[in-house]
Amino acid sequence: MNGARAVAEVHGSDVLAFARDDVLVAAWIAGQQYANSQLSSFGGIRVGQGTAYVTASGLRYCRVSPYSANLAVRALLEVKAPQAVPVAERWMEWYFAHLNSQDAPDGIPCDHFYFPDGGGETTCVKPGDPFLCNYNDATDSAAATFFSVLWAAYEAGTPLAELNTPERRLEIKKLADVLMKLQQPDGLFWAKADYRVKYLEDNCEVFAGLGALADLESNVSDDSKASARYRTAADRVQRAIFRELYDSRAQLFRIAKFENGSCPPANLNTWYPDTQAQLWPVIFGVMAPTDSRARALSGAINNYWNGRMHPGWADDPERVNQGWIEAGHAYGALLLGDSNQVRTWVGAVKHYKFQAAHEKLSFAWPFSVDDAGWLVRLMASEP
């Protein structure tokens, strides 16, 4: 059962009584996928519409972000969107095809850049720019969220034979080894081998990804020993999130633990990352929505971002984070049963992003496929 429908059953079928715009949003995500099977871009999913970079000579490049695509594809699968499985299978092929020393020097694919037609593959469009040349935002997240995609694809109907070949099993094991090397004695994961910060968001994503990996090993590979190893690692990171990153006095999560052991307190006056990260433990299953700590987090955020001292996160989402419509928090609010706020948020986003007559979506930057993934979860509902 997908998350949105589960919430509808718990809180009443009218919680998500929106128009079937989820189909339009799902189609927009699918429309970001490169479709020319003759090109190496095939299966790659652009992070958003439009171009990510224009060179001095006028070459226009779009970006493929493994992390963003993983979240978007998992959402399509979990809400059973039309064509979700073919989109996911093409995406998985792209990801596996780019697990090589050139495209994935850290063990996971770097962000890739392509011309709008899918040609011109490169990982570097501006040498010397860390965001536009061989960029890997976070190894832990990009690996863990891919495991979540693999498990969701299997549950959605991807044939066992496509996931359980010797080649695929070896690739999954190598990717798992990359991730596991990042877990530290305290149970938390570094973002990258050479970027030693243990982020709350990343570790929540890792918890979910390790659980998915354990399920894959048990149900697909029939390897109970490997499954137990990953389940144990997931349990360790879950305990560490509460032990190392939860501030019981403030009733908030700390955003990160740094290499020197410091864990600065969260500042709810700042949306990203301090406020945004607070509901990540809920949306990735680290903490149940019914947990009293989750209710306290939600109440604190609603008190801060309510349209008085700060913009209302639900009423004015385009003003909350410098124009970025942050959709993950809205999904967390949905899981917590905050249906009125979620209705308001969805209405505001539809006003800003949907063109007249709902014939076409206008998801201009800043809005990414992972944001659209959270949005399609919110909109998916029983008829």
Encode pLDDT of 317-362 as tens digits. 888 887 777 789 999 999 999 999 999 998 888 887 775 444 566 6
pLDDT value of position 238: 98
Q: pLDDT tens for residues 162-209? A: 899 999 999 999 999 999 999 999 999 999 999 999 999 999 999 999
Beta carbons within 10 angstroms of residue 382's beta carbon: 12
Three-state DSSP at 73 gives: helix
DSSP notation for 316-338: -GGGTTTT----HHHHHHHHTT-
For the cut 80, the answer to whether the pLDDT of residue 259 exceeds it is yes
Confidence tier at 4 by pLDDT (50, 70, 90): very low
pLDDT-wise least confident of 14-18, 77-81, 305-309, 319-323: 14-18
pTM of this structure? 0.92
| Rg (alpha carbons) of the chain, rounded to whole number | 20
CB neighbour list of residue 230: distance below 8 Å, 6 or more residues apart? 176, 210, 211, 213, 214, 217
H or E, element range at 224: helix 224-245
pLDDT value of position 160: 87
For the cut 70, the answer to whether the pLDDT of residue 221 exceeds it is yes
Buried b (16+ CB within 10 A) or exposed e, 260-272: eeebeebebeebe
User: Of 93, 108, 96, which is closest to residue 33 (Cα–Cα)?
Assistant: 93
User: What is the residue extent of each domain of the chain?
Assistant: 1-27+267-383
For the cut 50, the answer to whether the pLDDT of residue 108 exceeds it is yes
**300 CB burial (10 A radius; 0-12, 13-18, 19+):** middle
Beta carbons within 10 angstroms of residue 307's beta carbon: 12
Q: Between β-strands 60-64 and 112-114, what pairing exists: parallel, antiparallel or unpaired?
A: antiparallel
pLDDT-wise least confident of 6-15, 79-88, 103-112, 269-278: 6-15
pLDDT value of position 360: 62
Taking every pair of Cα atoms in the chain, the longest distance, rounded to a whole number of angstroms, is: 58
Confidence tier at 381 by pLDDT (50, 70, 90): low
